[in-house]
Every structure is written in C-alpha cells, then in structure tokens.
C-alpha cells in the first residue's frame, strides 16, 4: 500500500510533515494535563496550600485542553486538504493510465471494475488518509509517550495496564484474520453490483421490450444480497471491537483504583511515622490518579488504532486494486515517432493474430496492400476476423506475427499522435459523447484545426446535413451520452462525419453502414468516391452492394484470406464470395450490377 503514496506531491508531503508536528504538539499538550491534575490533587490535600496556586494549576490545565482542541481543528483541516489532493492525484493517474490501455487491458479488468477502482477504491484510500493523519499518527505517539510517562512508577499498576493492552491486541489480531479476506471479496462484489446496474441501464429498452424486468431484478438481487451478506459478516465481527475496548477501559480503571486503594491502605499512618505515612499516602494517591489518566491514554490510543483497523483492511484491498491498474503495462506502446516515405498506403505482410486468452490464431497469414486512394473491402461470415483485421490496421492490437506497414513504415514505429492523425476510424458501434453535435464533430486533436467549413462538408458527405439542420438548435443540438437521443443511422452518419472532418489519409469503416438504408448507403459511397478520391478506405461490410465497387475485396473465412480481387473476379473464382453474394442478391441483380 505504501507504494501508492509515492504519487504524493511535494506539497502534500509538506502537509503530512506539518500534520506530524501538530499531532506531536497535541499529544504533548494532552499528556501534560495529568501532571497539573497531580499538582491540584497534592495542593488540595496539603495543609496550608494557597487557593491561588490551585487556580493557577487549573488555568494551566484548561489552557492545555483549549490548545489540544485548537490543534485538533488545525490537524483536521490539513488532513482533509491532503486527503483531497492525494485522491485527486491518484484518480488522475488512474484515469490517464486507463486512457492508455488497449482493448486487451480493458477486457482484462472489465469496464465495471475500472469504474469501481476509479471511484469507490480511491474513496476508501482518501478516508484512510484523512483519518490516518489524525489518528494513525496520534495513536502510536500517544501510546509510547504515555508508557514512558508511567514506566517505572509502579510495577503492579504497569502489569495491569500491560494485561489490558495484550487483551486488546489479541482481539484485534483475531478479527483481522477473520475479516481481511472478506474485505477483498467486498470490492469484487461491488464490481458485480456496478456491472449489473450498468448493464441494466444500458439495455433498459431491451429489458422492457422483452418484459425482462423480473429477470434483471433477480440478477441485481443476487449481486446485492451477496454484497450485503459479506458486509454484514465484516460489520458483525468488527462490531465486537468497540464493546471489548469499552470493557477493557472500564475494567482497567476499576483495576487501577482497586489496586491503588490497596497500595494506599498498605502504607502505615500510626506511630511516630504517622505524619510521613500520611504524606506517603497522599503521594501514592496522586500517583494512582496520574497513572489512571496515563493508562486510559494508552488504552485510548489503541481504541483510536481500532478505528483505523476497521478501515485499513478495506483500504489495503483498494490500494492493491489501484496499484494493479497503475502497474499494468499496456501491450500496445507508442513508437519513436518516425514518419513514412509514402502517404495513404497500408500493407499487411503475413500477419497473424491471437488474443491473449485464445488457444489458436483468429487471423492467419493475411497479406494485402491498399495503395493511396484505393478502396479495399473485407467480407466474410460472422466471426471470420474482419473487425480484428481492421483493428490491427488501427493498431488497437499488435499483430502476433508478421508486420503491418503504414506509408512504408512499420506501424509500431509511429507515435500515437502521428498514427491517429493519419487514420480516421469509425467503429462497429457508433460512439457519441454528451455535448452538442458540433462538439462531437470536432472531438479530439488533429494536426490541423477542424474548421466549420470542414465539419459542415463532412456532414454533407456523410448524408447527415439534412437531419442535423432539422434538430432543435441545428449543430448546437444536444447529444445525450452514447447518442441515446438519436437513431442508429443518425449516430452512424455523425460518427462517419466526425472521422471525415479530420481529413485523414486512411478511413477505416468497421461495418459502419449497417444501420443505413440502401439509398443513404449508396449516396454516401458515391460522395466518398467523388470528394475523397485521394483517401484510402478500408471497409468492413456485410452487404455485397456496399463493397462491390471496391478496388479490391478480401474474402475471409475462419481467419484466413480465401479470396482476393474485384467483385467480378471473385464471382468467378471464389466459392465463399459467390455463396455470400447469391444469398443477398439474385443472379440477375448481380449481373446487372
């Protein structure tokens, strides 16, 4: 867990050191009060003591109490400031790390888990830091200082105090052994609740359409019940601590005064040494009172540690989960930023790819070349590897074998900024962000500014200008998170326009025409060929009509390229392509095309 704190900024370390000094001052003030209590006790029972001396000792004791309260407020302020700054820094680190993750890392951690780690887990650490600076630092300082104050004063009273400390520590160790594994499970179960809730909200329309509210409620109930049961287990066990602490503290006070009374009564006050005996009794009574105060401070310090022990196991689990994210090294790393000698070409040379958890390759020995300005299309049955192939071209993954050349250079040699200035990527599922239409069209950074003229032209090419103008506010119309207030076709057209507005060298369409009607599809492809004739296009599609005019079509079957050529060539030479074509269009339609 302490490795997490290496991210603490220099200013925050200054706050932590200041808190340490203030806490030490607070402990010194607190442990000074029993000394004044001893003075007051001695003055009261000493004949001839002046009332003014008692008032002075009382005033000093009151000043210590007020000073302790003031220092406590100041420590609380700086602790809260430090905890907030620290959680801000960690949250920022985690967010930036997740931003650098590839698809493989996202799959490894899961979206629900990453959300929990960025929110709930960091909150657990923030609470620990805020409480720790006030309690975790104060408790050991107070315990050690109080022990030093009473050590050597009376071995019987010291033995009773030591027995109380042993009892408390034994109970704490037993409970920690029981509940620590459960705290790990709690965070995983929070992931499950998060996952089920997110899934239900995302698919709310489908849930209602299939009358599956009861099924979803049962799924949430199971996840919620599991979390509740685990939390009840930990809460019930940790609830034992406070009664034990109270019992030990009360028993310690009773034992000290009972044993102290015996020690006082054991001092003789008769005979010639009666006056000395009375003085010794007063001195012993004063020591018992002071010893009782210091012993209570010792137990109180352990009681404060109990508060931390109730938070520490869960915070430790959270810290381990956060560190797991921060320590994860993305497999897709940026290159050194070399530029290619061409513009708009992409070449696959004997490329194979296997997912991390797969037993065999999902792409095997794929080779093709897309020259500048050409359109290369990919078609095949579901699961044949089309999306994976264009994901390699966009470097969402790195090829397991072979090499991919972009503009004549290995794609791994480019920095991410260089690479994604060259590529416009439209994913299989159109993703829009909350904001306005214009903000979505100008999303991200490019090598050149996206002007209004550029994004309006992109809207026109993507066949989206008409429906955007009819929206309330036009290009200033609001887009909900994920584009839920738009239809599937509208989202796809806006996603295509967003990629075109960047003016990339290569456009990658990952089945990005699936929600478009045939008329819009044809009009969009016509504008692409007219207005973006110099742009290289890679198109994944299910419709023959979408790709039949491509310069080259690659036919995939179970991860292998079983055909490559124009539509006419493949109709003659490739059985797989001909089978797909005849399943969609009649022989007359194909011949007419």
> In CATH, what number is assigned to the domain containing residue 224?
1.20.1560.10
Among candidates 378, 412, 382, which has minimal Cα distance to 394?
Answer: 412
Q: Which helix (H) or strand (E) holds 506?
A: strand 506-510
Residue 395 sits in the same domain as residue 542: yes
**121 and 315 in contact (C-beta within 8 Å)?**
no
Nearest-CA neighbor of 540 among 364, 381, 385, 377?
377
Residue 89 forms part of a structural domain: yes
Residues 24 and 77 in one domain: yes
CB 227 within 8 A of CB 190: yes
pLDDT in tens, the chain (593 residues): 555 566 666 677 777 788 888 888 888 887 777 777 777 777 766 666 777 877 888 888 888 889 888 988 888 888 888 888 888 888 988 998 888 887 778 888 888 788 888 888 888 888 888 877 777 777 777 777 777 777 666 777 778 878 887 888 888 788 878 887 787 788 788 888 888 888 888 788 888 888 888 898 999 999 999 999 998 998 888 788 778 878 887 888 888 888 878 877 777 766 556 666 666 777 777 777 777 777 777 777 777 776 776 677 777 778 888 888 888 888 877 777 767 677 889 999 999 998 877 788 899 999 999 999 999 999 988 888 899 999 999 888 888 999 999 988 889 888 888 888 889 999 888 888 888 999 988 887 776 778 888 899 999 999 998 889 988 988 889 988 888 888 888 999 999 999 999 888 999 999 888 888 888 888 988 898 888 888 999 999 888 888 888 999 999 998 899 999 998 889 888 999 888 888 887 666 666 55
CA atoms within 13 A on the CB side of 347: 12
pLDDT for 5 equals 60
Backbone angles phi, psi at 390, to 5 degrees: -75, -25
* pLDDT number for residue 9: 66
Q: Is residue 316 part of a domain?
A: yes
Same domain, yes or no: 151 and 221 = yes
What is the pLDDT at residue 45? 63
For residue 62 the two structure tokens come to: 């009151």
Strand stretches in 291-391, DSSP E: 346-353, 363-370, 375-380
323 shares its domain with 356: no
- Tell me how far apart the alpha carbons of residues 54 and 35 are, in angstroms, rounded to a whole number: 13
Residue 517 lies in a domain: yes
Same domain, 394 and 251: no
- Check residue 352 and give its pLDDT: 93
Boundary (domain end) residue, out of 327, 356, 391: 327
334 within some domain: no
Specify the pairing of strand 401-406 against strand 346-353. Answer: antiparallel
Residues 315 and 363 reside in one and the same domain:
no
What pLDDT score was predicted for residue 538? 93
Predicted structure pTM score: 0.69
Token code pair at residue 228:
């509740």
Residues 243 and 166 both lie in one domain: yes
Whether 336 is covered by a domain: the verdict is no
Last-in-domain residue among 277, 297, 327: 327
Same domain, 191 and 276: yes
Residue 363 and residue 293 share a domain: no
Q: Supply the CATH number for residue 463's domain.
A: 3.40.50.300
Structure confidence at residue 271 (pLDDT): 58
Residue 429 pLDDT? 86
The C-alpha R_g of the chain, in whole angstroms, comes to 37
Q: State how many domains the chain has.
A: 2
Distance, in Å, from the CA atom of 563 to the CA atom of 555, rounded to the nearest integer, reads 5
Q: Is 335 a member of any domain?
A: no
The pLDDT value given to residue 495? 92
Q: Rounded CA gap, 349 and 368, in Å? A: 7
Q: Is 80 exposed, middle or buried (0-12, 13-18, 19+ CB in 10 A)?
A: middle
Domain that holds residue 245: 2-327
* 230 falls within a domain: yes
Cα separation, 351 vs 347, in Å, equals 10
Q: Are residues 310 and 184 in the same domain?
A: yes
- 339 part of a folded domain: no
Same domain, 388 and 314: no
Q: Are residues 399 and 509 in the same domain?
A: yes
């Amino acid at each position: 867990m302490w490795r997490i704190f290496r991210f603490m900024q220099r200013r925050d370390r200054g706050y932590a050191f200041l808190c340490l000094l203030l806490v030490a001052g607070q402990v010194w003030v607190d442990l000074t009060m029993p000394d004044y209590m001893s003075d007051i006790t001695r003055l009261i029972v000493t004949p001839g003591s002046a009332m003014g001396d008692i008032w002075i000792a009382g005033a000093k004791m009151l000043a210590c109490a007020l000073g302790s309260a003031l220092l406590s407020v100041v420590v609380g302020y700086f602790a809260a400031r430090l905890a907030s700054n620290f959680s801000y820094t960690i949250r920022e680190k985690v967010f930036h790390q997740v931003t650098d993750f590839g698809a493989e890392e996202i799959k490894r951690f899961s979206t629900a888990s990453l959300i929990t780690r960025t929110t709930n887990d960091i909150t657990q650490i923030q609470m620990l830091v805020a409480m720790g600076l006030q309690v975790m630092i104060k408790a050991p300082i107070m315990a050690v200082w109080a022990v030093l104050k009473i050590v050597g004063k009376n071995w019987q009273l010291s033995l009773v105090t030591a027995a109380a400390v042993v009892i408390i520590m034994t109970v704490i160790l037993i409970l920690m052994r029981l509940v620590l594994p459960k705290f790990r499970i709690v965070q995983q179960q929070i992931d499950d609740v998060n996952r089920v809730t997110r899934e239900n909200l995302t698919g709310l329309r489908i849930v209602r359409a299939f009358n599956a509210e009861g099924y979803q409620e049962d799924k949430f109930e199971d996840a919620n019940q599991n979390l509740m049961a685990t939390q009840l287990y930990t809460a019930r066990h940790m609830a034992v601590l406070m009664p034990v602490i109270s019992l030990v503290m009360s028993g310690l006070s009773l034992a000290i005064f009972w044993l102290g009374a015996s020690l006082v009564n054991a001092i003789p006050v008769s005979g010639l040494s009666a006056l000395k005996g009375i003085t010794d009794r007063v001195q012993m009574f004063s020591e018992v009172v002071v010893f009782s105060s210091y012993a209570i401070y010792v137990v109180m310090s352990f009681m404060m540690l109990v508060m931390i022990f109730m938070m520490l196991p869960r915070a430790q689990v959270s810290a381990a989960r956060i560190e797991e994210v921060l320590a994860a090294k993305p497999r897709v790393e940026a290159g050194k930023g070399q530029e290619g000698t061409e513009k708009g070409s992409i070449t696959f040379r004997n490329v194979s790819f296997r997912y991390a958890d797969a037993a065999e390759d999902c792409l095997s020995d794929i080779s093709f070349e897309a020259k500048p300005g050409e359109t290369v299309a990919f078609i095949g049955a579901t699961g044949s590897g089309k999306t994976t192939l264009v994901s390699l071209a966009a470097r969402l993954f790195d090829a397991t074998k072979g090499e991919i050349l972009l503009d004549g250079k290995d794609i791994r040699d480019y920095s991410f900024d260089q690479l994604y200035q060259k590529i416009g990527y439209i994913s299989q599922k159109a993703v829009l962000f909350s904001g306005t239409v214009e903000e979505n069209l100008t999303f991200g950074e490019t090598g050149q500014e996206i002007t209004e003229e550029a994004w309006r032209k992109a809207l026109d090419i993507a066949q989206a200008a008409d429906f955007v103008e009819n929206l309330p506010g036009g290009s200033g119309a609001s887009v909900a998170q994920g584009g839920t207030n738009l239809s599937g076709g509208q989202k796809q057209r806006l996603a295509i326009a967003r990629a075109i507005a960047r003016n990339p060298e290569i456009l990658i369409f990952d089945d990005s025409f699936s929600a478009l009607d045939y008329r819009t599809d044809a009009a969009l492809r016509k504008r692409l060929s007219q207005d973006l004739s110099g742009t290289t296009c890679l198109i994944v599609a299910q419709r023959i009509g979408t790709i039949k005019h491509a310069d080259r079509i690659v036919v995939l079957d179970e991860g292998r390229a079983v055909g490559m050529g124009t539509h006419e060539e493949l109709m003659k030479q490739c059985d797989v392509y001909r089978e797909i074509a005849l399943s969609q269009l009649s022989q007359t339609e194909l011949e007419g095309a």
